[in-house]
Amino acid sequence: MFAHDFLEEAAQNNALLQIHPHTKLFLGLGTIFLVLFAPHFLIPFIASLVLSITIVFIAKINLKFYLSLLSIPLGFATLSVLVVILLSKGQEPIWSWQVLSWLPLSISQESLNRGLLIFFRIMGGMSALFFISLTTPMTDLFGVMKQLKVPDLFIDLSMIIYRFIFIFIKKAHDIYLAQQMRMGYSKPKEAVKSYSMLFGSIFITSWDAGEQFINAMECRCYNGKYPKNVSYNPVEWRSLTPVILFLISIIISSMLASGYQG
């Protein structure tokens, strides 16, 4: 089963499914925006921690699955931050090493603070993004786009792409496993041949799938637009109030941290 299946299954069965999607998007997108401008690394760290606790203990998302998702951006963030810390210059280096004549490595208090800030901004933003994807089904996101007057053509294309991209990934995975069982990647020459056959098969499959999809829609009297029935219950203040308080606390913390640094 692919990550898409797990994500969609989690979004359809999480404990926050009945919360209005506007509230969840307000929390997720608001947190992403605020942590990007946070002046101190503790602010995005606390935001990431609060959202992670919300995902695991309130939304009832499996902890092991959430950590496996978080490990993907964690690896990229760690490598990026190491480069920033080692190559950024500061006033008083804590550690330094002249690897080559043109490549000095050093660690200073300024580079550490900058690296930690970048790292926790990434993790805070990813926690907020995972909160949206793990608690809000794609059907709700498309419904919100419809309410925001996003052009129908864009929404329809997004729905088709979202559906078909994972179908093609699964087909590619099945073909790849079949080629492996036939020792298709045992040698470099065989691997090149197998990859070319894989890509050719996926192109033909995608073309056929598109033709079948168009025929199926025409049989259902498709007139160029998907019918979209968008109706949600009113936003509940019981769920919106803690979101507003959380975002206000981030804003106040950022203002206090900016004043302290100034």
Look at residue 130 in the predicted model and tell me its pLDDT. Answer: 93
Look at residue 158 in the predicted model and tell me its pLDDT. Answer: 82
Spatial CA neighbour of 89 closest among 115, 71, 107: 107
Look at residue 262 in the predicted model and tell me its pLDDT. Answer: 54
Look at residue 2 in the predicted model and tell me its pLDDT. Answer: 47
Q: Of the ranges 69-73, 92-96, 123-127, 248-252, which one carries the lowest mean pLDDT score?
A: 92-96
pLDDT > 70? residue 177: yes
Look at residue 6 in the predicted model and tell me its pLDDT. Answer: 67
Look at residue 5 in the predicted model and tell me its pLDDT. Answer: 55
Confidence bin at 103 (pLDDT 50/70/90) = low
Confidence bin at 260 (pLDDT 50/70/90) = low
Tokens describing residue 132: 């949206």
Residue 107 contacts residue 95 (beta carbons within 8 Å)? yes
Half-sphere exposure in the Cβ direction for 248 (13 Å, CA): 6
Query: Residue 192 to residues 176, 178, 179, 197, 253: CA-CA distances in angstroms?
Result: 13, 15, 12, 9, 55
Confidence bin at 87 (pLDDT 50/70/90) = confident
Question: Considering the entire predicted model, what is its pTM?
Answer: 0.79
Look at residue 1 in the predicted model and tell me its pLDDT. Answer: 45
Percent above pLDDT 70 for the chain: 88
Look at residue 109 in the predicted model and tell me its pLDDT. Answer: 78
pLDDT > 90? residue 99: no
Burial class (CB within 10 angstroms; exposed 0-12, middle 13-18, buried 19+) of 122? buried
Look at residue 226 in the predicted model and tell me its pLDDT. Answer: 65
Q: Of the ranges 149-158, 173-182, 208-217, 222-231, which one carries the lowest mean pLDDT score?
A: 222-231
Look at residue 101 in the predicted model and tell me its pLDDT. Answer: 67
